[in-house]
Chain A
Amino acid sequence: MTIKQELLDILACPKCKGPVRPATDNKGLVCERCCLLYEIRDDIPIMLIDEAKHLDRQSIAKQ
């Protein structure tokens, strides 16, 4: 199950408060500004900065 659009519209990166987008595999949410990938676990987006995966600019663009 993907994250519903209504939730996506209001979800933001907890670090920069900027927008997040679904990763291409729908298994996470991406903040391009912070280069962070937030995991979606059992349909629940885990928007915790400490648990987010930090990726370099090239990798985040591919997510």
Chain B
Amino acid sequence: MNQQNGREHVVKEYSLLAPEYDTRWSFYIEATTRETIARVSLAPGARLLDVGCGTGALLEKLAQNFPQTTLVGVDPVPEMLAVARGRLSASTELGGGWAEELPFADDSFDTVVSCNAFHYIRQPVEALQEMTRVLRPGGEIIITDWCDDYLACRICDWYLRWFSPAHFKVYRERECLRLLQEAGHPEAHIQRYKINWLWGLMTAKATK
């Protein structure tokens, strides 16, 4: 499957899913955004980018937790962004954009986060390089996603690779570290943890 086909599937699947996404995945969204927020620290005045912001659940929580910051979200699916626009205040900025081709100037953000989006990215090293490019020196990348070291994630990843064309790949902790190293982050580190008895996540952190 080439990159373009994969992208078309992501847009098609999520444009249809957008109206019901938040209710269908409420437990999962609540847990993943909670775990991500717990690992974010933002100084007043900081600027944050959420890559693959979807319906804006993480941005909404970030705005509550860090009110004196500038929050920006990008996502390639306009229907998901429309839901985000409806729930977020006008001070949160949104844009259409792919992770591999971020529409921002170099060194624009203090923090770049991504939550539940990494397993859709067709070119993960390019995406990590782009996240690094738009980050200021000393800024932090924080990525939360499924972790293939957990059996439930591995089975789900295998199933989705066969039956969901939008899905791309879930990584093991060591695979994710290797991608971060390829993207220029030998210092990156990963925490993995369960959000219930079955499902496991990991959060990767790297500094520019």
Number of residues in B with C-beta < 8 Å to the partner?
25
Interface on B for A, CB 8 Å cutoff? 4, 47, 70, 72, 74, 76, 78, 81-82, 85, 93-98, 101-106, 108-109, 133
Interface on A for B, CB 8 Å cutoff? 4, 6-7, 10-15, 17, 19-20, 38, 41-51
The prevalent SS among residues of A at the interface is mixed
Known contacts A47-B95, A47-B96; is-contact A41 B101 (Cβ 8 Å): no
Q: Which residues of the partner chain B approach A7 to less than 8 Å between Cβ atoms?
A: 72, 93, 95
Q: How many A-B residue pairs have CB under 8 A?
A: 63
Tell me, in angstroms, the Cα distance from A15 to B85 when the chains sit together. Answer: 25
Known contacts A42-B82, A44-B85, A46-B78; is-contact A12 B104 (Cβ 8 Å): yes
Question: Are B97 and A48 closer than 8 Å at their CB atoms?
Answer: yes
Question: Are A41 and B95 closer than 8 Å at their CB atoms?
Answer: no
Question: Are B103 and A47 closer than 8 Å at their CB atoms?
Answer: yes
The 3 nearest A-B residue pairs measured at CB: A47-B103, A46-B96, A14-B101
Question: Are B105 and A44 closer than 8 Å at their CB atoms?
Answer: no
Give the shortest distance, in Å, between A28 (CB) and chain B (any CB): 12
